[in-house]
Amino acid sequence: MAFVEEFGIMVGAVLTIMIYSFLVKDNPLFRVAERLTVGLGIGYALTLGMKNVFRLCINPLMDGDILLIIPLILSLLQFTTFTKESKFLAKWPLAIILGTGTGLAMRGTMKAQIISQLLASAPSPFITGDMLSTFNNIVIAVIPMCILIYFLFSFGEGKVTKGVGRIGVFSMMVGFGASFGNYVLTRETILYGRVKFLLTQYPANYVTYAVVTAIIIYTVYYFLSPRARARVQ
Amino acid sequence: MKEFHVRIVAVALLFICIGIPIIYPFGLPISVSKETLDVYNYVESLNAGDIIYMTTDTGFSQIPEVGPPIVAFITHCFRNDIRIVHFCLSTEGGLVLNFLMPSVETSGKTYGVDWVELGYFSGEETALASLAISIKDMVSVDFYGNNLEDLPLMEDVDGAKDISLFVGVAGALTGGYIRQIGDPFDLMIIVLARAANAPALYPYVNAGQVKITVGVRGGAEYEMLINRPGEGLATTDVISIGHLLVVGGIIFGNSIFLYERVNKKRRGEL
């Protein structure tokens, strides 16, 4: 393994541990690593963005695709926002971005996210030979109604609507619980990736051993020295 | 100080529970879910030579979770001679694929013939809409600067009308995939989803618009299906132990809460 690659892995290990030091408390090491991560991310995105501008716009423009001058001028107009006199010009590219984005998103929303979902809520056949899928069909059809009733405040709150709304609330809680569980799974997997890197990737594992040894020595010192305990407390 | 100690103990426990199976894997058995099997069967139903669009819309930090399903899925596609046009709508997507490609089974596959990397396109849904209509109207070179006219694969594909399947990674942009590609071109969408995004995708799955694999578990199942154990199956032990710890924590926390509540009631404080 080349020295540069090994050095990169060691830096990665040190930065990972610096980030995890936040678990103890907010500290300068964490803040350095945090700002470095944000800075690198922005730097990378900026470089890629510039590369994209050249690949998609400036290079074809140089090759004679003259129409590309329009998006280039529009994008340059975004920078007029920095002076008070020319600020109004920045509204044009923004309007085009928002208009195009909204128009495109609206194009298929009705079918993709409303009609298809409604049709899926009324499965056919509703009652099947399989008990579990019949129960599933009932849940899919009934629960959205209960949740809608909970959120509809336009009619008075009677005993029935209150009861049905309560079913809606419980259903939502089940849904949020499932989402939370999946979120934990995602975070756990990311933690796994880091722990595996720290324990098995050479030479990151040596950095980990050094840090763990330092923590053990400090813990022993903490318990043996009344002065250290007093300072922490 | 007490809270600090509890936090440190909880985190240390989690680190230990994750660390032990990494060093000594248990090999806990897993079953294949219907969702992953559906994805596998759909890829099996495609013909050799079919072309798919694939977009990796996720960051480098998500590799432990989306890496296994990506590697298994591309390997499966290559085994079935399915060709891939890859691009990304998030800045780090290209990096993610470059990092993962050495783990993919690419024997006998050639860049430009079996797969092409178009790189990053800004604009998310807007870019997707343009790529669905025509790649060549939008860009004339691939990510590495090769002219698209020189790449044999690009002779057979220009837009979504020429593809058989659209594959997204992560799942945050699934609404856009359906709006711009799935519905207008009547194409199936497969999402190699992060577990965190999966609950939001189930309405689409129920409506038959999307097929998904869920997180690293989905990747592990896919590895089993293609008979190529990899990082996904190695992770399942860790995930199972980690989940047991979290479930144990939830039961323990709730028991303490209920115990204190009962005690308070007894003392008449509630």
At A99-151, the pLDDT tens digits run 998 888 887 888 888 888 888 777 667 777 788 888 888 888 888 888 888 88
Q: CA dist B109 to A218, B56, B79, B82, Å? A: 54, 20, 10, 10
Q: Is the pLDDT of residue A229 over 90?
A: no
* CA neighbor of B241 nearest in space, from B28, B95, B93: B28
- Pick the residue from chain B with its C-alpha nearest to A181: B196
Q: Would you call B240 exposed, middle or buried from its count of C-beta atoms within 10 A (0-12, 13-18, 19+)?
A: middle
- Which residues of A fall within a CB distance of 8 Å from B14? 191
Residue A233's pLDDT is 65
Take residue B104 and report the two structure tokens written for it. Answer: 């993919």
pLDDT of residue A232: 67
Instruction: State residue B134's pLDDT score.
Output: 94
Q: Which residues of A touch B185 (CB under 8 A)?
A: none
* Mean per-residue pLDDT, B241-269: 87
Of A56, A107, A192, which has the smallest distance from its Cβ to B64's Cβ? Answer: A192
Residue B3 has what pLDDT?
Answer: 64
C-alpha to C-alpha distance for A146 and B48, rounded to whole angstroms: 47
- pLDDT score recorded for residue B236: 85
* Of the candidate ranges A31-35, A160-164, B208-212, the one whose mean pLDDT is the lowest: A160-164
Higher pLDDT, A108 or A194: A194
> Over chain B, what is the mean pLDDT?
91
How does residue A1 score in pLDDT terms, banded at 50, 70 and 90?
low
Residues of A in contact with B140 (CB under 8 A): 60
Helix, strand, coil percentages in chain B from 3-state DSSP, rounded to 5: 55, 15, 30
Nearest by CB: A108 against B184, B208, B215? B184
Residues of chain A found within 8 Å of residue B10, distances taken between Cβ atoms: none
Report whether pLDDT(A30) > 60: yes
Tens-digit pLDDT profile for residues A36-77? 999 999 999 999 889 889 988 999 999 998 999 999 999 999
CB count in 10 Å sphere of residue A51: 13
pLDDT at B27: 78
Predicted local distance difference test score (pLDDT) of residue A156? 64
Cα B114 from chain centre: 21
Q: Average pLDDT, stretch B192-217?
A: 92
- Which tens digits make up the pLDDT trace of B65-91? 999 999 999 999 999 999 999 999 998
Judged by CB atoms closer than 8 Å, whether chains meet at A186 and B215 is answered as: yes
B174 confidence band (pLDDT: 50, 70, 90): very high
Interface test with A, best of B194, B205, B233 (most A CBs within 10 A): B194
Instruction: Convert B13-52 to b/e letters by CB count within 10 Å (16 or more is b).
Output: ebbebbbebbeeeeeeebeeeebbeebbeebeebeeebbb
In this prediction, the answer to ipTM > 0.85 reads no
Instruction: Please report which residue ranges of chain B form alpha helices under DSSP H.
Output: 2-23, 34-45, 63-79, 93-100, 125-133, 135-138, 174-177, 198-206, 215-225, 231-266
